[in-house]
Amino acid sequence: MADSELPTRPKPEETGAPAAEGDSKSASKNAAKKAAKEKAKAEKAAARAAQEKAQAAAQEANDTAKHLYGKLPESDDVNPTTRFSDFTDEEKEVTVVARVDNARVQSAKLAFLMLRQQGQKIQAVIAAAEPISRQMIKFTGGLNVNSIVQVTGLIKKPEIPISSATIQHLEIHIRKVYMISEAAQMLPMQVKDAERPPPVETADDAPQVDSEGAPIVTLKTRLDNRVLDLQTETSQAITWISSGVAQLFSEYMIKSGSRWIFTPKLVGAATEGGSNVFEVKYFKRTGYLAQSPQLYKQMCIAGDMENVFEIAPVFRAEDSNTHRHLTEFAGLDFEKTFDHHYHEVLEFAEDLLVFILSQLKERYAAQIATIQKSYPKAGDFKLPKNGKALRLNYMDGVALLKEAGVDMSEQERFENDFSTAMEKQLGQIIRDKYDTDFYVLDKFPMAVRPFYTKADPSDARFSNSYDFFMRGEEIMSGAQRINDIAELEESMRSKGMDPTQEGFEDYLNAFRQGCPPHAGGGLGMNRIVMFFLGLPNVRLASLFPRDPQRLRP
C-alpha cells in the first residue's frame, strides 16, 4: 500500500453525520441521465446484497462453528491469556490476544494468520475439520489486517520452520477466533512495511517501492502515522531503550542520595537567551517555557538540597531542522555540591554515563539486537574497557585535530567551539586511538559557555566546564557554576547582560543569601538513545517528536 493513502473514515450514513452538501452551481444537463444510471446501479447493488444476505443466512443455519468465531461473546470465561514469549514446546491449548499482521485464505478449507504481539510474530493456521466450518475459515482468512483478535488454539511444531515469523519453530492450530477490535480495511501504511528502515532520501520524487517491489515508507509517513509505526518490532525495542535510559538515570541518582525535583516549566522571564524561548499566554500576562531547569536546580542547591536531579521536558524554540534537533525533548538534569574540586562532580557524572551505557547493554541485549537488524551501520557502541570514562581537555582535542590536519587559529581556539564536523572527526580519531565511543572533554573556552560558568582559576581563557560525547556528538553539557554573587554579576556584565534586568532577581538573591560551591550537567535523553543505537535521526528516538514543522500527532 502506498504512503499517500489516507486512513479510511466511516461513511456518513454509518456515523450519523450529514453527508457533504452538493455544489449547487454545478447543475448540468447530464444530471437526469446520471441519476437514472445511478438508480439502476443502486438497484443492482441492492439485489446483490439481498442475495448475499440470503446465502449467508442459509450458510449460517448450517454453520457448525457459529459459536467459535465472530464477535467476542460476553461470558464469565476468564481464562488467562498467554503471551507468545511464554510459549514452550509442549503441545497444549492456549488463548492469546494479538494483532492480525496478515490474513490469507489458501483454499475453502485452509487459511493462515500471522499474529503479532509487540512486534513478535507467530503463524496460526485453520483447517476445515469438525466442528470448524468453511464459513469460519472464510471469516478468519478475511480478517482485516491490524485487527486485534482473541485466538484459542493448540501450539504445535510446524513441519518446516516458518521463515516469515519471529517465532519460527511453533505455530497455533486455531480452534476459536473472536474479534476484539476491528481495524479499518484501508490503513495509511502497513506495519510490516514500516519494519524496514526509512530511506535517508525523502525528496518528493524519491522512489515509492524498493528493488523488490515493496513499498518504501518515508520517515514523514511513519511519524504522521506514529501509532502504527510504534507497533513495529524496531519501535517497540527503541521505546524500551528510552524507558531504560530514564530508569537507569534515576536509579543511579537515587542510589547517590539525590533528591528528585520538579521545577517549573512556566517561568516569568526569558532568562537563558531571549530568541529561542516559547512565549505563553499566562492569564493576562506573558510567560515563557523553561529552556532548561538550570537556574532552578541551582536555586535548589542554594536551598540546601545538596544533590538533586530532574527528569522533565525541555523546550527550545530553535528553528533548527536537522537530524538531531527537537523543539521538545526529555532532559535528564542533575546538580550537586562538592567539597574541594569540581572534578568530584565530573567524576560522578562520568560514572553515571558509564553505568547507564553499560547497563543498557546488559539489560536490553535483545532489544539492541533487534534494532541492529534495521540499523546495522553504526555497529556496537564501544565503552572504555577499564570501566572509567576517557577524559581529555578541550586543548587535547584541538591537538588531536591538528595532528589530523585540522588546525584552528589561536583566536578560533579560545573564542569558538568545535564545529559539528570537527566534533565528528574528533570522535573518529578518539575511537581509532582509544577504542571508545564515549568520552569527555573538559576545560572549554570561557567565551563559548554561559554566564553562570566558573572560569578556570589558573587560566581565565578557559572554564571549569565539560561536554560529554557519544560517537562524536554532544549529549551533555555541564560545569562548575559561579556561587559568589559579585563574581556572578561581573560574569553577566562581561557577557553583555544586565544583572538588574527583570527576571534575574530571584536567581541572584539566592547567591546573596549564601550558596555552596556546586557543579552539574544536563543530558538529552533522546540523543543518548539515538547515538547509543546509531539511529540516523533523533525523531526515531522520540515517541511523538516535535520540530519547527511538526506539532502532531
Task: List binders of a second copy among 188-247 (CB under 8 A).
Answer: 188, 225-231, 235-236, 239-240, 242-243, 246-247
Contact by Cβ (8 Å): 291, 477: no
- Determine which residue in the list 161, 274, 313, 376 makes contact with a second copy, applying CB under 8 A: 313
Q: Which stretch binds a second copy (CB under 8 A): 125-133, 403-411, 466-474, 515-523?
A: 515-523
Beta-strand relationship, 93-107 and 148-156? antiparallel
Q: Which of 314, 273, 316, 282 is nearest to 297 (CA)?
A: 314
Question: Which sign does the torsion angle of CA 464, 454, 426, 374 carry?
Answer: positive
497 touches a second copy by CB under 8 A: no
One-letter amino acid at 320 equals S
Contact by Cβ (8 Å): 159, 183: no
Q: Kindly name the residue from 258, 474, 491, 518 that is annotated as catalytic.
A: 474
Site string for a second copy, 326-365 (x = CB under 8 A): -xx-x--------xxx------------------------
Task: Please tell me the distance from the alpha carbon of residue 42 to that of residue 37, in angstroms, as a whole number.
Answer: 9
Task: Please tell me the distance from the alpha carbon of residue 315 to that of residue 472, in angstroms, as a whole number.
Answer: 24
How many residues sit close enough to a second copy to count as binding (CB under 8 A)? 112
Nearest approach in angstroms of CB 478 to a second copy is 21
Q: Kindly name the residue from 196, 323, 325, 413 that is annotated as catalytic.
A: 325
- Determine which residue in the list 148, 392, 404, 406 makes contact with a second copy, applying CB under 8 A: 148
483 touches a second copy by CB under 8 A: yes
- Using CB under 8 A as the binding rule, the residues of this chain from 59 to 88 that contact a second copy are 78, 80-81
Task: Please tell me the distance from the alpha carbon of residue 525 to that of residue 101, in angstroms, as a whole number.
Answer: 32
Q: Which of 119, 114, 137 is nearest to 366 (CA)?
A: 119
Nearest approach in angstroms of CB 442 to a second copy is 19
Query: Which of 62/286 has CB closer to a second copy?
Result: 286
- Which stretches of 283-389 are assigned E, i.e. beta strand? 285-289, 307-315, 328-337
Residue 409 a catalytic site member: no
- Using CB under 8 A as the binding rule, the residues of this chain from 99 to 138 that contact a second copy are 99, 117-119
Q: Which of 117, 120, 184 is nearest to 147 (CA)?
A: 184
Q: Which helix (H) or strand (E) holds 324?
A: none
Query: Which of 4/211 has CB closer to a second copy?
Result: 4
Question: Which sign does the torsion angle of CA 61, 66, 71, 72 carry?
Answer: positive
Q: Which stretch binds a second copy (CB under 8 A): 54-62, 134-142, 409-417, 544-552?
A: 544-552
Task: Please tell me the distance from the alpha carbon of residue 125 to that of residue 136, in angstroms, as a whole number.
Answer: 12
Helices (H), 364-419: 365-374, 394-403, 410-415
Query: Which of 264/379 has CB closer to a second copy?
Result: 264
493 touches a second copy by CB under 8 A: yes
Contact by Cβ (8 Å): 311, 332: yes
Task: Please tell me the distance from the alpha carbon of residue 528 to that of residue 535, in angstroms, as a whole number.
Answer: 10
List C-alpha distances in Å: 210 to 222, 231, 479. 16, 22, 48
Contact by Cβ (8 Å): 98, 85: no
- Determine which residue in the list 281, 385, 386, 496 makes contact with a second copy, applying CB under 8 A: 281
- How is residue 386 written as a grid cell? 577499564
- Determine which residue in the list 38, 60, 201, 279 makes contact with a second copy, applying CB under 8 A: 279
Residue 318 a catalytic site member: yes
Query: Which of 167/228 has CB closer to a second copy?
Result: 228
Residue 527 a catalytic site member: yes
Q: Kindly name the residue from 93, 182, 306, 318 that is annotated as catalytic.
A: 318
Residue 490 a catalytic site member: no
Strand partners, 455: 463
- Determine which residue in the list 68, 103, 125, 183 makes contact with a second copy, applying CB under 8 A: 183
533 touches a second copy by CB under 8 A: no
Query: Which of 164/243 has CB closer to a second copy?
Result: 243
- Determine which residue in the list 517, 522, 524, 534 makes contact with a second copy, applying CB under 8 A: 517
Q: Which stretch binds a second copy (CB under 8 A): 24-32, 166-174, 210-218, 282-290?
A: 282-290
DSSP state for residue 271 in the 8-state scheme: T
Query: Which of 10/379 has CB closer to a second copy?
Result: 10
Q: Which helix (H) or strand (E) holds 39?
A: helix 31-62
Q: Kindly name the residue from 99, 116, 175, 316 that is annotated as catalytic.
A: 316
Q: Kindly name the residue from 374, 527, 539, 542 that is annotated as catalytic.
A: 527
Nearest approach in angstroms of CB 431 to a second copy is 30
Task: Please tell me the distance from the alpha carbon of residue 252 to that of residue 465, in angstroms, as a whole number.
Answer: 22
- Using CB under 8 A as the binding rule, the residues of this chain from 286 to 305 that contact a second copy are 287, 289, 296, 299-300, 302-305
Torsions phi, psi for 308 (to 5 deg): -135, 155
Query: Which of 418/527 has CB closer to a second copy?
Result: 527
Contact by Cβ (8 Å): 151, 174: yes
- Using CB under 8 A as the binding rule, the residues of this chain from 45 to 64 that contact a second copy are none
Contact by Cβ (8 Å): 238, 541: yes
551 touches a second copy by CB under 8 A: yes
Residue 341 a catalytic site member: no
Q: Which stretch binds a second copy (CB under 8 A): 86-94, 199-207, 460-468, 495-503?
A: 495-503
Residue 477 a catalytic site member: yes
- Using CB under 8 A as the binding rule, the residues of this chain from 389 to 448 that contact a second copy are none
Residue 546 a catalytic site member: no
- Determine which residue in the list 489, 527, 530, 540 makes contact with a second copy, applying CB under 8 A: 489
Torsions phi, psi for 242 (to 5 deg): -60, -50
Query: Which of 19/129 has CB closer to a second copy?
Result: 19
Query: Which of 386/458 has CB closer to a second copy?
Result: 458
Torsions phi, psi for 287 (to 5 deg): -115, 180
Q: Provide the CA 126 distance to its chain's centre, in angstroms.
A: 37
Could you list the active site residues? 316, 318, 324-325, 474, 477, 527
